Amino acid sequence: MHRIQLHYTISRDAGDALARNPLPELLQAVAREGSISGAARALQLSYRHVWGSLKRWEDQLGGELIVWGKGQSAQLSPFGTKLLWAERQAQARLAPQIEALRADLERAFAVAFDANAHVLTLYASHDDALAALRAWAATPGSDDAVHLDIRFTGSVDAIRALNEGRCTLAGFHTLEQPDADSLAARTYRPLLQPGLHKLIGFARRTQGLIVAPGNPLGLHSLGDVARSGARFVNRPLGSGTRVLLDDLLARAGLVPEDITGYAQHEPSHGAVAQAVAAGSADVGVGIELAARMRGLDFVPLVQERYHLACLQSALEQPAMQALRALLQTSAWQQEMASMAGYAPLHCGEVLSMSRVLPWWKFARRKPENKGQKAL
């Protein structure tokens, strides 16, 4: 079976929505003009180019395209005639879909030619408020629209992507008051460096137990999950919620082996909630919104901060300034506050990393002795 490849061009000219292919255009010109030389003139190409193109197509497709009878003009072969017929059928049948695809491509590329639009690449731990922000920030017609290219991944991978230059922002989350000896500290401290990185405030959100409606197993803590043997569904290694869970287990004096199903995991909060809704798990740890959207019950355990990290050098970029300005609007903060389990927290503000993540201790510089001779 022969394969089809699609290509598109970008031009100032409006053109049309046809998906063009040079072979049917050549065949149609030959059929209309009755000769290769006539087809070349009609297409404003050289005879040599048209002849060579037809020969290359015959070699690739394995069939004769043009035939000549003695004393007759050039005609399409039966194979060439069927190819041209197939092209016309496809164009007629697929015209609405082709037009829709062209319009979608034009809308996407319009951002590149809009001086007031900005694009920011963000790798982030899964978060429903960020997904809402993506739609909110790209509202058509708004001044300084920000188009967020979000790749949801684990918190650890998000910060690594930032450090490797694969994104401008990284989203991750921690407890509001993380301990200096916590797993979160041991995980994130090697990846972040005060002075090099900056934190932009985003949200406070609630994480807890996602359980079936009515909480039939009476689960109110991780201790209850361990004692009951409830089927647990986890998040993958490297995700911020997995780091959070392990810290909470340590606080409760539990180990992973105490949790039935600790090794089973789902890629997002929504997937954890869906597993509980489908009955394949009894409980999982996730955000409140994921539970409420699926009609499940939610037992709050902790509040945490969701951070947006960037390099200090990126703060003055126009796209970053536009995003920060949007985050600080009352309209966006009201939108976030309407989401279950979310509240804006220093939204859009540049925060001191050593205050938000108190894992670093800096000795205060002693005042210089004015009478001491400088070395």
Spacing of C-alpha 94 from chain mean position: 29
Q: Is the pTM of this model over 0.85?
A: no
H-helix or E-strand containing 298? strand 297-311
Round the average pLDDT of the chain to a whole number and report it: 89
273, 136 Cβ separation under 8 angstroms: no
Count, residues in the chain: 375
Pairing of strands 297-311, 146-152: unpaired
For the stretch 175-227, pLDDT in tens is 988 888 899 999 999 999 988 999 999 999 999 999 999 999 999 999 999 99
For residue 320, pLDDT over 80 is answered with: yes
Residue 90 has pLDDT above 70, yes or no: yes
Predicted local distance difference test score (pLDDT) of residue 367: 54
- Longest pairwise C-alpha distance within the chain: 111
d(CA 200, CA 306): 9
Q: What's the alpha-carbon Rg for the chain, to the nearest Å?
A: 31
Backbone dihedral angles phi then psi of residue 193, each to the nearest 5 degrees? -135, 115
Structure confidence at residue 373 (pLDDT): 43
**213-249: burial string, b at 16+ Cβ within 10 Å, e else:** eebebebeebebbbeeebbbbbbeebbbbbbbbbbbb
Residue 375 has a pLDDT of 36
What CA dihedral angle connects 91, 97, 103 and 107, to 10 degrees? -140
Contacts of 357 (CB under 8 A, 6+ apart): 174, 178, 185, 188, 189, 192, 199
Q: Is the pLDDT of residue 329 over 90?
A: yes
CATH code, 22-110: 1.10.10.10
Q: Taking the domain 118-356, which CATH number applies?
A: 3.40.190.290
Say yes or no to pLDDT of 166 above 90.
yes
On the 0-12 / 13-18 / 19+ scale of CB atoms within 10 A, 198 is buried
Annotated domain spans of the chain: 22-110, 118-356
Q: Is the pLDDT of residue 364 over 60?
A: no
Q: What distance, in Å, lies between the first and last C-alpha atoms of the chain? A: 81
**23-77 tens-digit pLDDT:** 888 999 998 998 889 999 999 999 999 999 999 999 989 999 998 766 677 889 9
Strands 197-211 and 342-344, sheet pairing: antiparallel
Average of per-residue pLDDT across 159-171: 96
